[in-house]
């Protein structure tokens, strides 16, 4: 059989394109901001992970330009060999200090960070236990490891304990969870997870990609939010969200980071972060440390939007983060809603099965510290208008 046979068959995206409701790959003619130029029209951006609004900050851009001029466009090698700059060392040191950890290391992407950590730590006789709603990179990382993966129902601590109790006593266990879940915006039950980890001699890894800059008084993430920073064995995160760049990181005990540096294949065999990306991330971290009011402003904006949507009777997933999903329930209805909103100058992200359970499709909206109440009021009115039309007349 030709391996390309699957390509020649009609795909769901072909059918969606034929209906004129394909929601992906829209062209941006401007940088990330609260208002962008998308497909040639003014558009309120409710789909970005630019939580602290730093991607266009003058100091962040200046840092990237200066690094590009001094070091060039890339490192032309891995961190393991010729690709370690003084910039990398400084960023890792500053990150470890900010997160109250002994050491940190950086990867080219956040996806790669999860691949690099889990595949290196979880061996043949080990178990990795995951929340069912963990990020896709965690699942791919489990496939790369030689260990056995077990999944527990989302945030179901009874099910987690059942899975933990099933592991042979001689096996190592790594519990992996998102800190803030990227689709629903809810927060993991770290106190319960930590308690079970201690009971069953397991280690805890938290993917805090959507937690850094969002949770905690100083924006340090899920650990700070629960006042449990010492209960997380491995911190993982990204620079592509609150820290306005591209790349990923891991932080923890020095001996753990040293082990990963010498055993993580995605780390050893990939080129290092570009100088401009490193410099931008480091400057964004400096701004986060110096301006913690950005975190508080982000909370205010998120709460304002939640209250406004509820006031209009719009069905949302109630969370405490800047990720606010709006239920549309049906895949096609979700695509139609995105199209209608974009035509009215509002961009939101469609989330459909299998990213959500069948019948639980939604519009994923997310917010930044620079959104204004006026912009949000405008967006709420348009969301209400579109959902009212769809509910009255259906998605046809």
Helices 331-343 and 373-393 sit at what angle, rounded to 10 degrees?
130
- The residue from 241, 283, 333, 371 that is catalytic is 241
Closest by Cα among 354, 333, 44, 9 to 183: 354
Note whether 44 and 346 are within 8 A (CB): yes
- Asked about 261 being catalytic, the answer comes back as no
- Asked about 311 being catalytic, the answer comes back as no
* Cα distance between residue 342 and residue 347, in whole Å: 5
SS3 61: helix
- The residue from 155, 182, 242, 361 that is catalytic is 182
For residue 36, give the H/E element and its range: strand 35-38
Instruction: For residue 195, give both structure tokens.
Output: 């308690």
SS3 231: helix
Whole-number Cα distances in Å, 121 to 164, 177, 356, 387: 18, 15, 29, 46
Closest by Cα among 238, 348, 243, 359 to 295: 243
- The residue from 88, 135, 163, 210 that is catalytic is 210
- Asked about 241 being catalytic, the answer comes back as yes
Note whether 344 and 337 are within 8 A (CB): no
Residues 85-112 as b/e (b if ≥16 CB within 10 A, e otherwise) read: bebbeebbebbbebbebebbbbbbbbbb
Return all residues near 2 (Cβ < 8 A) that are at least 6 apart: none
* Cα distance between residue 236 and residue 208, in whole Å: 6
Catalytic residues: 182, 210, 241
């Amino acid at each position: 059989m030709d391996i390309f046979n699957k390509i020649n068959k009609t795909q769901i995206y072909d059918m969606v394109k034929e209906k004129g409701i394909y929601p992906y790959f829209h062209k941006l003619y401007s940088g990330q901001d609260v208002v962008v130029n998308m497909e040639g029209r003014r558009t309120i951006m409710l789909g970005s992970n630019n939580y602290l609004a730093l991607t266009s900050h003058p100091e962040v851009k200046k840092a990237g330009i200066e690094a590009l001029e001094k070091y060039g466009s890339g490192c032309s090698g891995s961190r393991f060999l010729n690709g370690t700059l003084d910039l990398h060392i400084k960023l890792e040191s500053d990150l470890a200090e900010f997160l109250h950890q002994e050491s940190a290391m950086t990867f080219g992407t956040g996806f790669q960070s999860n691949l690099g950590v889990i595949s290196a730590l979880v061996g043949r006789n080990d178990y990795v236990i995951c929340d069912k709603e963990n990020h896709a990179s965690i699942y791919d990382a489990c496939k790369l490891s030689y260990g056995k993966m077990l999944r527990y129902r989302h945030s179901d601590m009874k099910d987690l304990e059942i899975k933990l109790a099933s592991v042979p006593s001689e096996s190592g266990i790594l519990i992996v969870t998102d800190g803030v879940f990227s689709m629903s915006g809810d927060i993991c039950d770290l106190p319960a997870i930590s308690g079970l980890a201690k009971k069953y001699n397991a280690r805890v890894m938290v993917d805090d990609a959507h937690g850094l800059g969002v949770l905690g008084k100083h924006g340090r993430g899920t650990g700070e939010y629960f006042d449990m920073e010492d209960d997380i064995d491995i911190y993982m995160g990204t620079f592509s969200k609150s820290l306005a760049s591209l790349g990923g990181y891991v932080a923890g005990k020095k001996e753990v980071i040293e082990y990963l540096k010498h055993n993580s294949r995605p780390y050893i065999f990939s080129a290092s972060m570009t100088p401009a990306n490193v410099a931008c991330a480091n400057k964004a971290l400096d701004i986060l440390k110096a301006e913690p009011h950005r975190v508080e402003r982000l909370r205010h904006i998120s709460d304002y939007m939640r209250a406004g949507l509820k006031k209009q009777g719009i069905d949302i997933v109630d969370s405490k983060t800047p990720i606010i999903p709006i239920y549309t329930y049906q895949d096609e209805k979700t695509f139609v809603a995105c199209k209608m909103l974009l035509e009215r100058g509002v961009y939101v992200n469609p989330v459909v099965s299998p990213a959500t359970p069948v019948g639980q499709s939604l519009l994923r909206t997310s917010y930044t510290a620079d959104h204004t109440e006026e912009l949000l009021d405008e967006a709420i009115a348009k969301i209400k208008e579109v959902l009212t039309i769809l509910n009255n007349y259906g998605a046809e």
